[in-house]
Amino acid sequence: MVRRTRFEASMDKRRALHAAEKDGQVADSMEVRMELVKRMNAGELTLAQVQDELKKIKRNAKKNGLVTRSQAFSRG
């Protein structure tokens, strides 16, 4: 019987998260988050607006048939 270390398990979860993001299954992917940060840095949004938008994206994830990053990581 081969036992996996916590590190290996965490790396497997991270790989699963990246794969889910690549497949477009994650509502609040790094791409979406980076776009929000770009808009904030350009002065279009404030930090509070970015945080509110991210909360809205996470809240609507299930309705849109997607998962959040934390859910994708947990499933991995």
Total domains present in the chain: 1
**Per-residue pLDDT for 61 more than 90?**
yes
Residue 4 has a pLDDT of: 82
Residue 36 lies in a domain: yes
Phi, psi of 67 (to 5 degrees): -125, 165
**What pLDDT digit, counting tens, does each position of 6-54 carry?**
999 999 999 999 999 999 999 999 999 999 999 999 999 999 999 999 9
b/e per residue, 34-69, with b = 16+ CB within 10 A? eebeeebeeeebeeeebeebbeebbeebeeeebbbb
CA 35 from centre of chain: 13
Is there a domain that residue 1 lies in?
no
For residue 28, give its domain range. 6-75
pLDDT at 76 over 80: no
